[in-house]
Structure 1
Amino acid sequence: MDVFLGIGIALAGYFIGEGLKQRNQTKGNEQNDIFLIKERDIYFYIGLFLGITTTEAKQLAGDMADLPYIEINGKKYVQKHMLKDWTFTLVEKHQGE
């Protein structure tokens, strides 16, 4: 009987320890926020964030002069989380008008 109690306590300790290890790992959607978006796909993602079409996203975004981007080999890329923040800031500006 004492053997089963000891095994049960050992297993409980193991599972609690494994649960605590996984608690500090990043979630899948947090890793996707580092994702780089190509310049040609920006309007698609703006539409995706806001639930609008790509055409409506182009009208909303305008020239995107103040959008922070990364340039690699002459091509512009935007980090997903920065585009999301910029998009919601843009929407707030349009709502204030």
Structure 2
Amino acid sequence: MEIDTFWLAVGLAALGYFIGDGLKNFAKPQKKSRYPYLIKEKDLHYHFNLSKDEIAELLNKYPDAPRIELKGTTYYSYHKFIDWLSSNDIYKG
């Protein structure tokens, strides 16, 4: 009987710890990036402050840009595209 009470107390203490830890960040959840994860090709110019012609020229000149095609629509991952631009010294913005 004494051992059962001990394990019950340990379980309640662990439960209290995990609930308290979860409530600690309840009022202030993690901030999400203001940038979308995937950007349509037609919207790239908006996110990178370039004209539509400059984006078209960039994509024609560098066809190895990281892209994803889903159901005939081309998307670019914002973070991968930024990394690709900066690693190739293409964009100095």
Output the TM-score relative to the length of structure 2: 0.51
- Between structure 1 and structure 2, the one with the greater Rg is 2
Q: What is the CA distance between 1:46 and its match in structure 2? A: 2.1
- 1:57 to 1:87, Cα distance in 2 relative to 1, 3 A: farther
- Structure 2: runs of 5+ lacking an equivalent: 1-16
* Amino acid of the structure 1 residue aligned with 2:32: G
Percent identity over the alignment? 21
Kindly indicate whether the alpha-carbon contact (under 8 Å) linking 1:44 and 1:57 is maintained by their aligned counterparts in 2: no
List 4+ stretches of structure 1 deviating above 4 A.
none
Q: Which has the higher helix share?
A: 1
- Structure 1: runs of 5+ lacking an equivalent: 1-12, 48-52
Output the TM-score relative to the length of structure 1: 0.49
- CA RMSD of superposed structures (Å): 3.4
Once the two structures are overlaid, the 10-residue window that deviates more, 69-78 or 80-89, is: 80-89
The count of residues paired between Structure 1 and Structure 2 equals 70
- 1:72 to 1:58, Cα distance in 2 relative to 1, 3 A: closer
